């Protein structure tokens, strides 16, 4: 009987792990370095005299399937960290996080490719998100 209980627990854990992996695996279709489309935009703010002054640079990511936006927003912190450490999704995940958190994206006026980001800022960005998610 105890043996059967252990098998049931094991199968349950395997099923939960597999479901989580499948969901994350499916998200790679949308959070993918090869297909990410984004723009770096300079935003403006209005001062007390009614003049518009440059404010911050932001990342705007094009999401083709609008129903995926809620799925992307609902990813767990651990899912984001997995995406940030995967070579097929790291760049796209980082750009999406800059977009979702409205983080100042001045660095992307100079860093325009994944390779450039990896050599110059990836470790810093991943560490920033790791701390943010705690």
Report pLDDT for 12: 43
Report pLDDT for 120: 95
CA distances from 109 to 114, 117, 125 (A): 13, 11, 15
Computed over every residue of the chain, the mean pLDDT equals 83
Q: How many domains does the chain have?
A: 1
DSSP code at position 122: H
Residue 61, pLDDT above cutoff 60: yes
Q: For residue 52, what pLDDT band results from cuts at 50, 70 and 90?
A: confident
Quick: pLDDT tens for 83-102.
Answer: 999 999 999 999 999 999 99
* Residue 126, domain extent: 2-132
Q: Decide: helix, strand or coil at residue 54.
A: strand
Distance CA 103, CA 79 (A): 19
């Amino acid at each position: 009987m105890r043996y059967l209980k252990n098998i049931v627990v094991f199968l349950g854990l395997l099923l939960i792990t597999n479901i989580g992996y499948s969901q994350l695996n499916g998200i790679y279709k949308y959070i993918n370095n090869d297909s990410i489309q984004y723009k770096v935009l300079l935003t403006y703010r209005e001062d007390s005299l009614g003049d518009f002054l440059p404010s911050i640079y932001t990342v705007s990511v094009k999401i083709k399937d609008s129903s995926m936006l809620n799925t992307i927003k609902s990813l767990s912190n651990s899912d984001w960290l997995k995406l940030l450490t995967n070579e097929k999704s790291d760049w796209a995940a980082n750009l999406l996080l800059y977009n979702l958190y409205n983080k100042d994206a001045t660095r992307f006026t100079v860093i325009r490719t994944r390779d450039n980001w990896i050599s110059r800022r990836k470790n810093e960005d991943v560490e920033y998100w790791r701390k943010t998610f705690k």
